[in-house]
Amino acid sequence: MLIIVETTINELLFQRRYEMIYTVTLNPALDKTVEIPSLTVDAVNRITSMRTDPGGKGINVSKVIAKLGGKSIATGILGGDTGRAILSALNDLELKTSFHFVEGETRTNMKIIDPVQHTNTDINEPGVTVSEEILNELLEELLEKLTAKDIVVISGSMPKGSPQDTYYTWTKACREKGAKVILDADGDLLKAALKASPYLIKPNNHELSALVGRTLTTPEELAKTAKKIMDQYIISKIVVSMGGDGALYVTESGILYAEGLKVPVGSTVGAGDSVVASLAVAEEAGMSLADTVCLSTATGAANVMCSGTQAAEYSVIQELLPKVVFHQIEI
């Protein structure tokens, strides 16, 4: 059992080995989070509280990076009044952006939290339709800026009209520029992109199970499977999130299992994105595996405590750092 002193992480966060972190959100959303006690199907339900946040996985990553003191440029596709509302909200948060506007309307996603039945229900719109030509234009814009000293976070779902190998294409192109690619996707998008050898992937335990076609339950089973995928596709790191049960960190230098922190739940939406953000910042700062585990575990838990998809304050993350517990896994 290991616990890392938080001052070590605080000092490391000011170190920068990379010039910029780019986050890619090809299917953003305006996230509307509502609270409905005792949600009932086929009945009138009344909202007791509501908040709206700019969302989409990559955008969520950028919001958390900022709270961790890092710098990022959020890129992606926006459309219509909803897209302009998202861009305005990101400007209010003083985040750097480089979005490509297209015809159509960016989606609005409804997140329904029932505090009585302890459920979270997502209702997601499909979003805009894009062509392969538009995707290629956006990729070229990114590649013009990209250097070997950058990190690219590619995450989330794809808009309608996108080829299934889009993330493979983007990962391969960014790697050819020398950048490190952190990929957070699932299903066919993940399966195709693995062939481009991203630097790090972050599936959850269900997504990893689906990838290999069998149910994986224990940390040891997950670790063995992740290690095989690393070797097969030449991936440097795999982080497997396990919800409230914690997360597994598989690298060439070692395998660590972090226990989940017990915190009051505000919203689980965006918790995985906050972990991805902390992984990017940890990579940028050159943190050890142990420090990376502590930072990402505390960051994920802190964001679970927030309502909507707002990013947790670093002061909350600091309070959780000393509570992180993890173990080495042998396979």
Active site residues: 273
> Is the CB of residue 266 less than 8 Å from the CB of residue 307?
yes
Query: Coil, strand or helix: which one is 66?
Result: helix
C-alpha 121: how far from chain center: 19
The span from the CA of 321 to the CA of 102, in Å, is 42
Bridging pattern class, strands 247-251 and 254-258: antiparallel
Query: Coil, strand or helix: which one is 266?
Result: coil
Within 8 A by CB and 6+ apart from 9, the residues are 287, 291, 294, 295, 321
Beta strands across the sheet bearing 96-102:
96-102, 72-79, 20-25, 150-155, 180-184, 200-201, 237-241, 247-251, 254-258, 326-328
The span from the CA of 293 to the CA of 43, in Å, is 44
Residue 75: its H or E element: strand 72-79
Q: Which of 49, 8, 58 is nearest to 184 (CA)?
A: 58
